Amino acid sequence: QVQLVESGGGSVKPGGSLRLSCAASGRTDNILAMAWYRQAPWKQRELVALSTNSGMTNDADSVKGRFTISRDNAKNTLFLQMHSLKPADTAVYYCYVHLPTPAWGQGTQVAVYS
């Protein structure tokens, strides 16, 4: 099994920046891809950004040009650098690991308000 520990959430004003981290431990050898999802109140969980083992990344249209996903494979850590944050980015952000048995982090809150 894989354990995920997220950090880096918080409150920020519109236009601000945050960097999320997700450290994976345990049986990480079979990780196929890692991703960030988010869930705003009363909304469905949505994919924010994806990083595959081959180095490909994919971002949701709503965050293109503002968010960057990256990985430190040596440390099994996933990052999400967020710039130009908007109130619409307010959500709980979850780290996701694609495995034969997928794993989710506990979530970290991001709040963007004036």
Q: Please state the φ and ψ torsions of residue 81, each to the nearest 5 degrees.
A: -90, 125
Q: Are 51 and 64 in contact (CB under 8 A)?
A: no
Alpha-carbon distance of 25 to 22, in angstroms, equals: 10
Strand, coil or helix: 19? strand
For residue 31, the model assigns a pLDDT of: 86
Rounded to the nearest 5 degrees, what angle is found at the Cα of 99, between the Cα atoms of 76 and 33? Answer: 55
Confidence of residue 95 (pLDDT cuts 50, 70, 90): very high
pLDDT tens profile 42-85: 999 999 999 998 888 889 999 999 999 999 988 899 999 999 99
Alpha-carbon distance of 16 to 41, in angstroms, equals: 21
For residue 30, the model assigns a pLDDT of: 83
Q: By CB neighbour count within 10 A (0-12 exposed, 13-18 middle, 19+ buried), where does 61 fall?
A: exposed
